Structure 1
Amino acid sequence: MKKHNFSAGPCILPEEVLQKAAEAVINFNNDDLSLIEISHRSKSFVAVMEKARSLVLELLDLEGKGYKVLFLQGGASTQFLMTAYNLLHKKAAYLNTGTWSGKAIKEAKLFGELVEVASSKDQNFNYIPKDYSIPEDVDYFHCTSNNTIFGTQMKSFPQTESPLVCDMSSDIFSRRLDFSKFDLIYAGAQKNMGPAGTTLIVVKEDILGKIDRVIPSMLDYQVHIGKDSMFNTPSVFAVYVSMLTLEWLKDLGGIPFIEKVNQKKADLLYTEIDRNPLFKGVVAVEDRSVMNATFVLTNESLKDTFDTMLKDAGINGLNGHRSVGGYRASMYNALPLHSVQALVDVMQELERKS
């Protein structure tokens, strides 16, 4: 029996997606060739890339609105650099809500002046700053929608006349948003969309080409757009599995459907965290992430017992990030409700035994 997979990334994937991906590795499209040994220039894979890009626009309701979709390499960490390389002329504004936004700030400082409009570092990033102002003279505003490590999530986004850039690595395709408010979205696939190895970029084309620096070809969005994400050899397997996952999501009913499922999972777990005296949530209630629930034991002497019970129940990937400790339940799109119920059952059993 497959374990209940709460891993923060690489993430759980739908069983039917795994099955189709496994078959394609052996025999893709009944061509008696493996997916991972065919040319990325072949008609078969070009069709995969085109379908993946099309599904992104369809699911985000961005068709015909001037956006281009790229599947690149290097993870979101490369996008910290690439965003600034392509957009930062003089000054940019950043919201600091955790480790990943901090890394994005570090890279952007190489290219110009940075304004940190607000930060939750004062309380170990356990809340989302509010009521901050964004300078009118910035080239763009950057934020991170969901903070995987600390378990916070932005529930709303600021109005700004400057381009709005967002790292959505860990909650892309999980909830309804007006995605047309964003000028550039990037997301590592391995958090909620596919396997490690590819990174999704959705960019409004008219924000590009406005700086005067020379951009290396591999870091230039316009170069990749001009080559339909094929400027260099893409991560064929990762793009294919991402396409399968997007198809799976569309067939379920898209983002409106999965949002309801994700909220049920989060409500079930957070209700138990708040009810059970042996557990405590570590972030502000109003900023709790639907994707990554972080919590701790109120009695650390129960840790070994709880960990053993989790293992016996087939629950995997619940340890908190090494930088913060505790526990973290990552409830990405493909995690079934019964896995969350299995975790809640163990939490309740620990309470009965204590």
Structure 2
Amino acid sequence: MADMMKPAQRPANPLFSSGPCAKIPGWTPDLLKSAFLGRSHRAKDGKARLKRAIDLTREVLEIPETHLIGIVPASDTGAVEMALWSMLGARGVDLLAWESFGEGWVTDVVKQLKLTDARVLKADYGALPDLSAVDFTRDVVFTWNGTTSGVRVPDASWIPADRQGLTICDATSAAFAQRLDFAKLDVVTFSWQKVLGGEAAHGILILGPRAVERLESYTPAWPLPKIFRMTKGGKLIAGIFEGETINTPSMLCVEDYIKALEWAKALGGLEALIARADANAKAIADWVARTPWIEHLAKEPATRSNTSVCLKLSQEAVADLSPEEQAALPKAIAATLDKEGAGYDIGAYRDAPPGLRIWCGATVEQADLEALLPWLDWAYAQASAARRAA
């Protein structure tokens, strides 16, 4: 295997980062010539571009009219924390965590907000918590797709329609690649930098009627910074959900997001985006099935992500490796592909088990993923040979 020939063809676009993710196919800075720059975002035309982004989000994601859509600061993190700080505390909360970002929301609620009536339902990387154990008389906070574990909830059938608490869903690596059941989700958040390859620093906050009712009927015991405030005088600030942002957005980033949404609409909308991600993930899965040295981190096929596909060395591959070698080998593979210009940013997330993470969202071309696979085999052969020679 050490004598394996270096592949002759590199991916045309070797960008496989899980965020920020690859731009839409054919992207160039020329697409942003129409950006509303050098003017106030509160001018008529500025607000129109922001409203255009909101309207296209609704159309492409098929968000019902019952739900409001706002552009908010600080990426998905800002959107999630706006919801946590503004809505939690009215009743007990169940927190689901099976990867790094879910763990982050646990830290926010337990250590920062210091809510005492908080249950944490955890699972190791590669698995889901017991969804049947969730108590929907309480608020529930969860990620739809675990970006750092490659594990997603299969659907929303585990969420009852007659729930008493709110469901707060971080959907940042699921939106535009997995179908979200908005009737079951009271709060949904994501950032532009994931499936549509937008620029960072802005988040989307989607509120259902039950979330609005909570905001207008409940005042948290703690102070809220300006960028978290969504009500005034006990009423929702409606302008936030019509393009009147809380703080100054980058209109260059707004234009980039609009162009990505227009690309998605022209492609065929949500179903087309899901189909592209599914096909990309299948290309990886087919390779894993025929490759003895690698396997999925997600144990159950039904809960495997079609965007942030996380892989680990197989039991066969690690049989004679020390824990240090098991950690070093995937890093060597990622470093080799980076050096060769064949695939960038494919190492596992820093808090995840050692392995590889390959973004398969809709902006990635299947041909590029298929061109990456021989390079993974070659890099593994090189790293294994170097270990034996050491």
Query: What corresponds to 2:79 in structure 1?
Result: 79
Letter in 2 for 1:50: K
Query: What corresponds to 2:147 in structure 1?
Result: 148
Distance 2:79 2:337 in 1: 39
Is the 8 Å Cα contact of residues 73 and 247 (structure 2) preserved in structure 1?
no
Query: What corresponds to 2:361 in structure 1?
Result: 332
Query: What corresponds to 2:261 in structure 1?
Result: 246
Is the 8 Å Cα contact of residues 90 and 113 (structure 1) preserved in structure 2?
no
Query: What corresponds to 1:126 in structure 2?
Result: 126
Q: How many residue pairs are counted as aligned between the two chains? A: 340
Is the 8 Å Cα contact of residues 4 and 316 (structure 1) preserved in structure 2?
yes
Larger mean CA deviation between 257-266 and 13-22 belongs to 13-22
Query: What corresponds to 1:203 in structure 2?
Result: 207
Is the 8 Å Cα contact of residues 80 and 108 (structure 1) preserved in structure 2?
no
Is the 8 Å Cα contact of residues 76 and 203 (structure 2) preserved in structure 1?
yes
Residue 20 of structure 1 deviates from its aligned partner by 4.2
Q: Structure 1 residues 137 and 280 mapped into 2: Cα distance closer, same or farther (>3 Å)?
A: closer
What secondary structure is seen at the aligned counterpart in 2 of 1:69? Answer: strand
Residue 153 of structure 1 deviates from its aligned partner by 1.3
Is the 8 Å Cα contact of residues 72 and 246 (structure 2) preserved in structure 1?
no
Larger mean CA deviation between 316-325 and 166-175 belongs to 316-325
Query: What corresponds to 1:258 in structure 2?
Result: 273
1:303-342 to structure 2, matched below 5 A, reads 304=332, 307-308=335-336, 311-312=339-340, 314-324=342-352, 325-342=354-371
Is the 8 Å Cα contact of residues 140 and 168 (structure 2) preserved in structure 1?
yes
Q: Structure 1 residues 224 and 249 mapped into 2: Cα distance closer, same or farther (>3 Å)?
A: farther
Match status 1:4 vs 2:14 = yes
Is the 8 Å Cα contact of residues 280 and 360 (structure 2) preserved in structure 1?
yes
1:49-128 to structure 2, matched below 5 A, reads 49-64=50-65, 66-88=66-88, 89-109=90-110, 110=113, 112-116=115-119, 118-120=121-123, 123=124, 125-128=125-128
Query: What corresponds to 1:181 in structure 2?
Result: 184
Q: Structure 1 residues 305 and 212 mapped into 2: Cα distance closer, same or farther (>3 Å)?
A: closer
Residue 329 of structure 1 deviates from its aligned partner by 0.3
Residue 250 of structure 1 deviates from its aligned partner by 0.9
Larger mean CA deviation between 83-92 and 330-339 belongs to 83-92
Distance 1:90 1:302 in 2: 46
Q: Structure 1 residues 20 and 108 mapped into 2: Cα distance closer, same or farther (>3 Å)?
A: farther
RMSD: 2.6
Query: What corresponds to 2:5 in structure 1?
Result: none
1:272-311 to structure 2, matched below 5 A, reads 272-286=287-301, 287-297=303-313, 298=317, 304=332, 307-308=335-336, 311=339
Q: Structure 1 residues 278 and 111 mapped into 2: Cα distance closer, same or farther (>3 Å)?
A: closer
What secondary structure is seen at the aligned counterpart in 1 of 2:217? Answer: coil
Q: How does the TM-score come out when normalised to structure 1?
A: 0.86
Residue 323 of structure 1 deviates from its aligned partner by 2.3
Letter in 1 for 2:274: E
Q: How does the TM-score come out when normalised to structure 2?
A: 0.79
Residue 351 of structure 1 deviates from its aligned partner by 7.7
Letter in 2 for 1:320: A
Pick aligned residue for 1:14 from 19, 24, 42: 24
Letter in 1 for 2:228: L
Distance 1:224 1:333 in 2: 34
Query: What corresponds to 1:38 in structure 2?
Result: 39
Is the 8 Å Cα contact of residues 333 and 376 (structure 2) preserved in structure 1?
no
Is the 8 Å Cα contact of residues 70 and 225 (structure 1) preserved in structure 2?
no
Letter in 1 for 2:206: V
Distance 1:137 1:181 in 2: 14
Match status 1:226 vs 2:227 = no
Whose RCO is larger (CA < 8 A, sep 6+)? Answer: 2
* Ranges in structure 1 where 5+ consecutive residues have no aligned partner: 29-34
